[in-house]
Structures are given as structure tokens and as C-alpha cells.
């Protein structure tokens, strides 16, 4: 090829990835409606186009596999072969080979993916002359009702946005950074305007404020992608695992058009897969067990996403065996993670959350499905790293629901500026539940820890001076307490005074500062001061 | 006025590849379409001198589009672009009125050659 094709690579990768996802989705539907000719045509077309693209780029392995798939699919749609479970299985296997091959192009390293086995499997199907020994019940060759046919092709078309451009994520990150700088500089100008009392400046700054606001919103929007990006993969995950475990599961997805920051979407994939695997593997009982307990044979798992003021709420519900907080607590004691004395103080929710503590699930019970990769502790850590939270609702015998709340975006947050020993710190507003001031005589000491009683609830106190090793001081007339919350945990932060409420652009700390305890990042104020952002999750 | 070409292919990747090859050669791109229906509409709208037409696309295929375009303009110049293994369909498309074809994967020279051949009176 004389033309340098490398610059087409990105385009190929993004389109091929999309095609693979659609292939997975369509194959899953075909498995449920093996007679649907329209679906078969769609799958054939996807494999065919993929082959053409790969051949143009000179990707031999992908071309070969896609070509063999296309041959099999062609036979199927010509009705020379019958759609049999073994064939679908083989086609799924072919997709599993194509996926790493595409990823290989992304990473640029040769992962030595072996395609021989799948080629042989596909050829074997081609050699079956007669319709495979399918069950006689499937003899009726009738086509699908016309209305069903329409939905298949229409759906595919609608999904493809007509007026869209593909942009490298790097450009969007740069754009976001620049907008961040703009916001900071705008704030500086405001400061100057205020200091020198320049009326004319303030007027035009108000205009600028509106524009930067809209600009920021637009840029944020460009970073948003629908969660379908990852949700679409899950039916396949559920299907494969259910098959392996001999379970029957109806899996439902809702709200896959909800949008989140691209970075968050990518990062929550692993935790979600882990939760889904948990539900299928540990949550849902075997069909026999279910029938014995008076439940339907097939289990039900539902994944849903929806918007909630400034947050996205993702829920995974199953109607499986559920969990017992008491049993979990007993197990934690057994493992030495918890003493019986401490246990008494824990709420039901806190007992449930023990399963998210590192070391709760041990090697002895890690099955090859749920135990791999991330554990519940990683799920929790990952979600909280994004200022999100995990909660569990469960009822023994009825099922469990895992609720993940995530912020829409990471880059810009509302935050409260507080003063501690002449220094200013930022506390993310999303963590704050209330701000109170008390006279010192309200403070009590329990187990050497200072606490305060708010509305009959005990709130442990923590002085930010203590956290950041600043000189401690005697409490004055009044103490200012900012109540923060992560998940179900609450803590009262003692600060010297409240400074202001501002929209800040998060700058991550790099190098040796990266793992500083109690600090999650920094920001620059209007007057040019650098302010550290308190890592609420970290100090809990 | 340069020579305008309409590119029809369901894969954005293939459209980009064709577009680059053709515009490098000095052809003007009249537009792009990703299915048969759009192809006919874009043809009527832009009146290109030539169309490159994929065959396997979602919905109606490229041959149907060729037939429809021939109804709009009986002397339309259409070059089929199809992946290997679809020879039978190419024959059908030629019978429907397409003037030439290119097999994917193609080399840029082959594309130019096929297009030139059709455009030459």
C-alpha cells in the first residue's frame, strides 16, 4: 500500500469497536429469535463491513476471521444452515478473538492472538451440508412478523448520529484545561475589579462570566458519553456466566442513554462487571433452589441508570438470596476484622458495608468468576475515588440492590472554602450536608474522641488543624463544624471559619505529592493563591 | 467546475479512505451517504458526476440504490465498491446500470483508475 494508512488507524479502531459491540448485541438477540432473518442480515452486514475495513488496513488476522464469519453467516441467511446453539456459540467465540485483535492495534503490541482454532471451528460449520441436527420443533421456517423486522434496522440507523465528528479525547482534555484556566483568570479579574472598584470592568466581566459559563457547560458536554458505551457489553457477560453456572437469568437494562464524563464511564466498567458477576454467581440461586423457595426458575437482574440532581445513580438489583447483615458481621469477627464490642456500635448498613472491607472475601471462596480481578473493596475504593458512593440494600431471601452514585463530571466542582490557621482549604460541596456553629461546652468526649450531639445523633469531630499538622488552638467562643458525608459515614470537620463558596477547577497533584494523605488535588483562586482540596474520603 | 463525486458506504472509515484518495487526485466530494435511501436523496440534491457505491449496507442494498438513481438519471455514472466475495452482486449491479467496480481492499491507484475510466467519454 503506497498510502500511509497509519493515520486511518484511529478511525478504524473506533468504528471496529462499535461494530464489535453491535455484533455482540445482535448475536444475543439472534440467540433469542433464531428465526429472525432481518437480524441475520444485520449481523452478516456487520461482519462483512468489518472484513472490508480490516482488509483495507491490511490487518490479516481480523480479515481472515471476519471473512470466515461472513461465510457462515451467509449460509445461515441463505437458509442453507440452521441457526443452532453451537453455531451461535462459535460466532461468539469468533467475536472474543476479534476483540483482542482490535485491542492489539490500539496498544500496538503483538499479543500473539491465535486464530487457528476459531478458523477451524468456523470451517467445521461450513462443512455441515445439511441444516444442523436441530430439534424438529424448529421446522417451521416462517419469517418474522413484519413489524419486528422494521425495528431491527431502524434502531441501528437511529443510533448513528448524522452530524457528528470523531475527536481524539486528548483534544477534549486540553480544551477542558484551557477552559479551567479561563475560569481561574476570570476570577482573578473579578478580584481586581473588586479591589480597585472599577465599575466598567465589573460590567463587562458579568458578560464574560455568562460566556465562560456557557463555554464551560458546552465543553463539559463534549466529554459526556452515554453509559450504553459500557452497558451494552453486559448482556453478554450475564449470558456467558449464567450458562457456565447453569442458571437462567433475565437481564434487563434501563437508562443506558444517561450520560457521564467519559473518564468515569471507562473507570466504572470493571467495578460494574464485578457487581454483575457477583449477582449472577452469588446472588441468584440455582433454578432448583429457586423453585424450592417458591420463586420463578429464572432469576432476574436489572441494571439501571438515572439522573439525580448533580449525580447519576446506577442500581444493580437482583431477586436472589440476599444478604444478612448479622451473618456478615459474624464472618467479619471470625476473620478478625472486627471485635464483638465494636460490632454493637455498627448500624445495619455499616454491617453490610463490611463486605467492602479489604480482606473480607478470602482466597478459599474465590470462585473463578467473581473472585477474579477486582473485589468489593476495589469497587468501593474506585467509586469513592470519583467522589461517588456505594450503598447496599438487601433482604434475606428476597434479593439485593447495589446503589452507586457518581458525579456527572470530575473537572469542575462546587466547593466551600474554609480557613484553618490562616490557610484556605477547599471542601467539595457534594460531600457537605450541613454547617453549624456550637459553643465549646457542647463537645463531649467518647473513647478519647471528641464528638458532638446533633439532633440526638452522635457526630464524631475531627479538627482540620490536626489533619494537616497545623498548630492547634484553644476553642474560642464558637466552633465552626462542617458536617461531611461519604456513603453512610459522617464526620464533623472543625474549621476556624467559613471563607466563601466557589466553583473550582480541580488540578491533580503529580509526582511525589500524588499520594499526600488528606489532599485530593489543588486549585487556583482568583487572587492567584493555590488552595488544597480536602480529600474527604481519605480522612474518614 | 471540477468533477464532483458522491461517496456511498456505511462505514465511516471506508468513506474517509475513499474521500482522501479522491480529493488528493483533485476530485471534489459532492457528499457522503451511509445507506441507499440517503444515496438517492444526496444524488438528486447534489447531481454529482460520479458515485462510488457500496453494496452491503443497512436497509436496502447498493444495487437498489443504483436502480433508483438510474431512474433519476439514466446516464448516471456509478462505480461499485465492494469487498471480495460479492462477485455475484457486482454482476447484478452492473446489469442494473453501474459502469465499473472496485474490490475492497483496494489500492489508491485502482480507485483512481476505475473512476477515470468511467469519467472518460
Q: What is the ipTM of this complex?
A: 0.71
The pLDDT score that the predictor gives to residue A450 is 87
Rounded to a whole number of angstroms, the distance between the first and last alpha carbons of chain B is: 17
CATH number for the domain including A38? 1.20.120.160
Range of the domain at B18: 4-119
Domain that holds residue A399: 226-407
DSSP A442: G
Same domain, A334 and A430: no
Confidence (pLDDT) at A373: 39
Q: Quick check: is A127 catalytic?
A: no
| Closest to A502 in 3D by CA, of A186, A172, A176 | A186
Burial class (CB within 10 angstroms; exposed 0-12, middle 13-18, buried 19+) of A373: exposed
CATH of the domain at A272: 3.30.565.10
A138 with A27, same domain: the answer is yes
The C-alpha cell 447484478 sits at: B92
The pairs formed by A494-497 with CB atoms below 8 angstroms and a separation of 24 or more are A494/A461, A494/A462, A494/A463, A494/A464, A494/A465, A495/A418, A495/A419, A495/A420, A495/A425, A495/A464, A496/A418, A496/A419, A496/A420, A496/A421, A497/A418, A497/A419
Residue with cell 454493637: A344
Asked if the Cβ–Cβ distance from A11 to B16 is below 8 Å, we say yes
Distance CA A300, CA A280 (A): 9
Catalytic position from the list A42, A70, A285, A315? A70
Nearest-CB residue to B108 (from A3, A12, A53): A3
In a shared domain, residues A272 and A307: yes
Confidence of residue A43 (pLDDT cuts 50, 70, 90): very high
DSSP string, A443-468: -EEETTEEEEEETTEEEEEEEHHHHT
Q: What is the pLDDT of residues A512-540, one digit of tens each?
A: 777 778 888 888 776 678 899 998 878 87
In this structure, are residues B111 and A2 in contact, taking their beta carbons and an 8 Å threshold?
no
Q: Is A436 in a helix, a strand, or coil?
A: strand
**Is residue A106 domain-resident?**
yes
- Quote the pLDDT of residue A2: 40
- Tell how far CA A11 is from the center of its chain: 25
Active site residue A202: no
Shared-domain flag, residues A14 and A97: yes
Confidence of residue A374 (pLDDT cuts 50, 70, 90): low
Annotated active-site residue A48? The verdict is yes
Please report whether residue A164 resides in a domain: no
Bigger pLDDT: A26 vs A448: A26
Rounded Cα distance between A218 and A233, Å, is 28
* Backbone dihedral angles phi then psi of residue B35, each to the nearest 5 degrees: -155, 175
Q: Which residue has the cell 483533485?
A: B26
What whole-number percentage of chain A has pLDDT above 70? 88
pLDDT band at B1 (very low <50, low <70, confident <90, very high): low
A190 and A252, same domain (yes or no)? no
Task: Please tell me the least confidently modeled range out of A142-146, A165-169, A197-201, A238-242.
Answer: A142-146
CATH number of the structural domain spanning residue B113: 3.40.50.2300
- pTM value? 0.59
At residue B29 the predicted structure's pLDDT band, cuts being 50, 70 and 90, is very high
Segment A387-393 shows an average pLDDT of 85
Q: In which band, very low, low, confident or very high, does the pLDDT at A159 lie, cut at 50, 70 and 90?
A: very low
- CA atoms of A384 and B78, how far apart (whole Å): 57
β-strands B50-54, B78-83: how paired? parallel
Question: d(Cα A95, Cα A102) in Å, to the nearest integer?
Answer: 10
Which has more confidence, A392 or A378? A392
Three-class secondary structure of residue A275 per DSSP: helix
Domain identity same for A300 and A288: yes
Question: Residue A485: what are its φ and ψ, rounded to 5°?
Answer: -140, 135
pLDDT for res A329? 85
Does residue A254 share a domain with residue A357? yes
- Shared domain for A347 and A199, answered yes or no, is no
- Judging by beta carbons within 10 Å of its beta carbon (0-12, 13-18, 19+), is residue B66 exposed, middle or buried? buried
Domain identity same for A381 and A249: yes
Q: How confident is the model at residue B86 (pLDDT cuts 50, 70, 90)?
A: confident
Q: What is the distance between the alpha carbons of residues A176 and A264, in angstroms, rounded to a whole number?
A: 15
For residues A91 and A331, the model is more confident at A91
pLDDT digits (tens, 9 = 90+) for A345-371: 788 888 888 888 777 764 444 444 444
Of A461-475, A506-520, B107-121, where does mean pLDDT reach its minimum?
A506-520
User: Best interface-test mutation with B: which of A49, A54, A102 has the largest number of B CBs within 10 A?
Assistant: A49
Region A38-57: mean pLDDT is 89
How many domains does chain B fold into? 1
Q: Residues with Cβ < 8 Å from A120, sequence gap 6 or more?
A: none
Q: Using CB atoms and an 8 Å cut-off, which of residues 67-96 of chain B contact chain A?
A: 82-86
What's the CATH code of the domain at A499?
A: 2.40.50.180
Indicate if A151 and A247 belong to the same structural domain: no
Does B104 sit within 8 Å of A2, measured CB to CB? Answer: no
- CB pair distance less than 8 Å for B13 and A12: yes
Indicate whether A247 and A309 sit together in one domain: yes
Q: A8–B11: do the CB atoms touch at under 8 Å?
A: no
User: What pLDDT is recorded for position A148?
Assistant: 39
Q: What is the pLDDT of residue A363?
A: 40
Q: Pick the closest to residue A53 from A36, A75, A70 (CA basis).
A: A70
- Picking from A407, A433, A457, the residue at the C-terminal end of a domain is A407
**Mean pLDDT over residues A379-395, rounded?**
84
Please tell me the predicted confidence (pLDDT) of residue A300.
94
Give me the number of domains chain A comprises: 4
Query: What does the DSSP assignment read for A382-424?
Result: HHHHTT-EEEEEEETTTEEEEEEEEES-SSEEEEEEEEETTEE
Q: Domain check: are A242 and A194 in the same one? A: no
SS (H, E, C) chain B: CCCEEEEECCCHHHHHHHHHHHHHCCCEEEEEECCHHHHHHHHHHHCCCEEEEECCCCCCCHHHHHHHHHHHCCCCCEEEEEECCCHHHHHHHHHHCCCEEEEECCCHHHHHHHHHHHHCC
How many Cβ pairs closer than 8 A exist between chain A and B? 67
Write the DSSP string, A33-102: -TT-HHHHHHHHHHHHHHHHHHHHHT-HHHHHHHHHHHHHHHHHHTTSS---HHHHHHHHHHHHHHHHHH
Task: Identify the active-site residue in A22, A278, A387, A431.
Answer: A278
Q: What pLDDT band is residue A149 in, cutting at 50, 70 and 90?
A: very low
Predicted confidence at residue A129, as pLDDT, reads: 52
Q: In the predicted model, is pLDDT for residue A11 greater than 60?
A: yes
The helix or strand, by DSSP H or E, that contains position A486, with its residue range, turns out to be strand A479-486
Q: What is the pLDDT of residue A135?
A: 40
Share of chain A above pLDDT 90, in %: 21
* Average pLDDT value for residue range A284-288: 91
> With an 8 Å Cβ cutoff, is A347 touching chain B?
no
pLDDT at A55: 86
* Cβ neighbours around B4 below 10 Å, total: 16
> Edge-to-edge, what's the strand order for the sheet holding A432-438?
A432-438, A479-486, A489-495, A457-463, A449-454, A444-446
Amino acid at each position: 500500500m503506497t498510502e500511509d494508512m497509519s493515520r486511518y488507524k484511529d478511525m478504524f479502531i473506533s468504528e471496529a469497536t462499535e461494530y464489535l459491540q453491535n455484533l455482540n448485541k445482535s448475536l444475543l438477540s439472534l440467540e433469542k429469535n433464531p428465526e429472525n432473518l432481518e437480524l441475520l442480515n444485520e449481523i452478516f452486514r456487520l461482519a462483512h463491513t468489518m472484513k472490508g475495513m480490516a482488509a483495507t488496513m491490511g490487518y490479516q488476522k481480523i480479515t481472515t476471521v471476519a471473512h470466515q464469519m461472513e461465510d457462515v453467516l451467509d449460509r445461515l441467511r441463505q437458509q442453507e444452515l440452521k441457526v443452532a446453539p453451537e453455531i451461535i456459540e462459535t460466532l461468539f467465540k469468533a467475536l472474543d478473538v476479534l476483540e483482542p485483535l482490535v485491542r492489539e492495534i490500539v496498544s500496538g503490541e503483538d499479543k500473539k492472538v491465535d486464530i487457528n482454532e476459531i478458523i477451524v471451528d468456523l470451517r467445521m460449520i461450513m462443512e455441515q451440508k445439511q441444516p444442523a441436527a436441530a430439534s424438529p420443533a424448529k421446522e417451521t421456517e416462517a419469517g418474522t412478523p413484519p413489524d419486528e423486522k422494521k425495528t431491527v434496522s431502524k434502531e441501528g440507523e437511529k443510533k448513528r448520529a448524522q452530524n457528528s465528528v470523531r475527536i481524539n479525547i486528548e483534544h477534549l482534555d486540553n480544551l477542558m484545561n484551557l477552559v479551567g484556566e479561563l475560569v481561574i483568570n476570570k476570577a482573578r479579574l473579578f478580584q481586581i475589579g473588586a479591589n480597585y472598584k472599577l465599575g466598567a470592568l465589573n460590567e463587562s466581566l458579568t458578560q464574560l462570566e455568562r460566556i465562560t459559563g456557557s463555554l464551560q457547560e458546552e465543553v463539559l458536554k463534549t466529554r459526556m458519553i452515554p453509559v450504553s458505551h459500557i452497558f451494552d457489553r453486559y448482556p453478554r457477560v450475564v449470558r456467558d456466566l449464567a450458562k457456565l453456572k447453569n442458571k437462567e437469568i433475565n437481564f434487563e437494562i434501563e437508562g443506558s442513554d444517561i450520560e457521564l464524563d467519559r473518564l468515569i464511564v471507562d473507570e466504572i466498567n470493571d467495578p460494574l462487571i464485578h457487581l454483575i458477576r457477583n449477582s449472577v454467581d452469588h446472588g441468584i440461586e440455582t433454578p432448583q433452589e429457586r423453585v424450592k423457595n417458591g420463586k420463578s426458575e429464572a432469576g432476574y437482574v436489572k441494571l439501571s441508570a438515572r439522573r439525580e440532581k448533580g449525580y447519576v445513580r446506577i442500581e444493580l438489583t437482583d431477586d436472589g438470596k440476599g444478604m444478612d447483615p448479622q451473618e456478615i458481621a459474624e464472618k467479619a469477627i471470625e476473620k478478625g476484622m472486627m471485635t464483638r464490642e465494636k460490632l454493637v456500635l455498627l448500624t445495619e448498613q455499616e454491617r453490610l458495608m463490611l463486605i467492602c472491607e479489604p480482606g473480607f472475601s478470602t482466597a478459599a471462596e474465590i470462585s473463578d468468576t467473581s473472585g477474579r480481578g477486582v473485589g468489593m473493596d476495589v469497587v468501593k475504593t474506585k467509586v469513592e475515588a470519583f467522589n461517588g458512593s456505594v450503598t447496599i440494600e438487601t433482604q434475606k431471601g428476597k434479593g439485593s440492590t447495589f446503589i452507586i452514585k457518581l458525579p456527572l463530571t470530575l473537572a469542575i466542582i462546587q466547593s466551600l472554602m474554609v480557613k484553618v490557621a490562616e490557610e484556605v482549604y477547599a471542601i467539595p460541596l457534594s460531600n457537605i450536608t450541613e454547617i453549624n456553629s456550637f459553643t465549646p461546652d457542647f463537645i463531649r468526649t467518647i473513647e478519647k474522641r471528641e464528638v458532638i450531639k446533633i439532633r440526638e445523633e452522635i457526630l464524631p469531630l475531627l479538627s482540620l488543624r490536626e489533619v494537616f499538622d497545623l498548630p492547634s488552638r484553644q476553642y474560642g467562643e464558637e466552633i465552626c463544624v462542617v458536617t461531611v458525608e461519604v456513603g453512610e459515614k459522617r464526620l464533623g470537620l472543625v474549621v476556624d471559619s467559613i471563607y466563601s463558596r466557589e466553583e473550582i477547577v480541580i488540578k491533580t497533584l503529580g509526582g511525589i505529592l500524588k499520594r499526600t494523605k488528606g489532599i485530593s488535588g489543588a486549585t487556583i483562586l482568583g487572587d492567584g493563591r493555590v488552595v488544597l482540596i480536602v480529600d474527604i474520603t481519605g480522612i474518614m | 467546475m471540477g468533477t464532483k463525486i458522491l461517496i456511498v458506504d456505511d462505514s465511516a472509515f471506508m468513506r474517509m479512505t475513499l474521500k482522501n484518495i479522491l480529493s488528493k487526485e483533485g476530485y471534489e466530494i459532492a457528499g457522503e451517504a451511509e445507506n441507499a435511501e440517503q444515496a438517492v436523496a444526496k444524488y438528486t440534491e447534489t447531481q454529482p458526476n460520479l458515485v462510488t457505491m457500496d453494496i452491503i449496507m443497512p436497509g436496502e442494498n447498493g444495487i437498489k440504490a443504483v436502480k433508483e438513481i438510474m431512474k433519476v438519471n439514466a446516464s448516471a455514472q456509478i462505480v461499485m465498491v465492494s469487498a471480495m466475495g460479492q462477485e455475484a452482486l457486482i454482476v447484478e449491479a452492473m446489469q442494473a446500470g453501474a459502469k465499473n467496480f472496485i474490490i475492497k481492499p483496494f489500492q489508491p491507484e485502482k480507485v483512481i483508475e476505475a473512476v477515470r475510466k468511467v469519467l472518460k467519454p
